[in-house]
A and B are shown apart, each in its own frame.
Chain A
Amino acid sequence: MPEPRHVRPSSGDTLLLVGTMKGAFVFRSADRGAKWEMGGPYFPGSAVYAMAYDARGGRRRLWAGAQSMHWGGLLHTSDDFGRTWTNPEEANVKFPDAAGVALQQIWQLVPGPESEPGTLYCGVEPAALFVSRDAGESWALDESLWNHPQRSRWEPGGGGLCLHTILVDPDDPRRIRIAVSTGGMYVTEDGMMSWRPSNRGVRAEFLPEKFPEFGQCVHKVVQSRSRPERMYLQNHWGLYRSDDRGESWSDIANGVPSDFGFPMAVHPRNADCAWIVPLESDQFRCTPEGKLRVYRTRDAGASWEALSAGLPQEDAFETVLRDAMSADALDPAGLYFGTRSGKLFASASEGDNWLLVADGLPPVVSVRAALVGDEARG
């Protein structure tokens, strides 16, 4: 097994948590410029679809969901930026006996609100939501969603039947939206006591009924933190915006080469600004015309502009997966994404210019940007 390298971040550094099909990596930069240090590989050989940084309550904790093809999946944490990781004796996310199923993959890790520093959410395959109220010491299946009468009619997409998106509303942590491929989006407004579908206006091209109540293949949903009623949704065919917290959706595929794609990111302060990476068709699933381009809107989807400075524009048949793009909270915002061919790109200029941070990584499946706060000092 490879001997991992380690990074030693300082306060103010930007971190990129990069999950790949064969392990996790941690990148750090003091200025988001040309120099990035790499830590890893961690969990070599395991697929890491989900990573998170938890800075609540004075922590500086990395989370990783690592799935070994042989030995199953676990959540691991590191409080020293990857130098050491927990390795729980017992699998910490697992279905209860009554569910009658086994965990296939950990797809999403989301720390709860600042006001609830012990709360974390975990989305998994088969599609289910797990919750921890004790900072990850123990996890419990959300029975309300699991027992939803529509769940038996959800169908697996190409990546499996996964719960891949968890959005805790900044205004009310009892209001949570999740997305399932393929089940569509669901919302709870009573702290997970009950769930209802929330897909009005989202098309299901692959079903006879084009606008069903549920069953859409939602690829990614993002929610503005500055204006939480504003959300964007990248569908399996379809690009949408909501101005009512996801209650209804309108098509905003205006001037993009394809409305198919996986990842999305929304600007940390400007709710009219979002980024996508369109892919050609749902068969080829590579960047159109062999050009790797990020598309940005600054008018809430009325128009989109191609961003290509620093990105390969010839024979670049790349794929960027649903969790492989992330924005930071700095000003100007930084944007980062990884490709299935193992390239990692960064932009410190909201996408205007890009640089290659790493090449030759295993296939990248998740990227999370984080700012190291004062708690890391020393």
Chain B
Amino acid sequence: MALRFLIPGPLQQFSGERREILIEGAPASLSDALAVLWQECPAIRDRVVTETGEVRPHVNIFVDGESARYTGGLDTPLGEESEIAIFPALSGG
């Protein structure tokens, strides 16, 4: 049993070029899972969340295919084999 993080291309330089990272254990929420990810890949943290702990406005995190913005934010509950995908949002000009 493991959670799976999908790391976007621009952040793979901070994940040892890994596209997927498996997290053992059973974090109950997205926030708990991210805390484990930060331990595994500390440089990803400040790229994904601000110093106030909020997900950056142009970063989207999907849990099992649903944007966490609509499923409870960082409190989004996780299943034992949830897939957590980090994406840069469509933005820019």
Chain A residues within 8 Å of B, Cβ to Cβ: 45, 68-72, 87, 89-91, 94-97, 100-103
Contact = CB atoms under 8 A, between A and B. Distances in A.
Given A89-B42, A90-B43, A71 B11 contact: yes
Contacts of A102: 50-52, 54
Interface of B: 10-11, 13-14, 42-43, 45-48, 50-52, 54, 56, 58-59, 88-89, 91-92
A165 to B, nearest CB: 24
Most A CB atoms within 10 A — which of B50, B58, B88? Answer: B50
A97 B58 CA distance: 22
Nearest to B88: A70
B56 A72 contact: yes
A123 to B, nearest CB: 17
A70 B91 contact: yes
Contacts, number: 49
B47 A72 contact: yes
Nearest to B14: A89
Contacts of B13: 87
B50 A72 contact: yes
B38 to A, nearest CB: 10
A89 B16 CA distance: 13
A20 to B, nearest CB: 13
Contacts of B52: 95, 97, 100-102
Contact of A71 (B42, B51, B56, B92): B56
Contact of B92 (A69, A87, A101): A69
Nearest to A45: B92
Indicate the member of A45, A90, A102, A103 with the most B CB atoms within 10 Å.
A102
Nearest to A90: B46
Contact of A70 (B43, B50, B58): B58
Q: 9 tightest CB-CB pairs across the interface, nearest first?
A: A102-B50, A89-B43, A91-B46, A71-B47, A94-B51, A70-B88, A70-B58, A102-B52, A69-B58
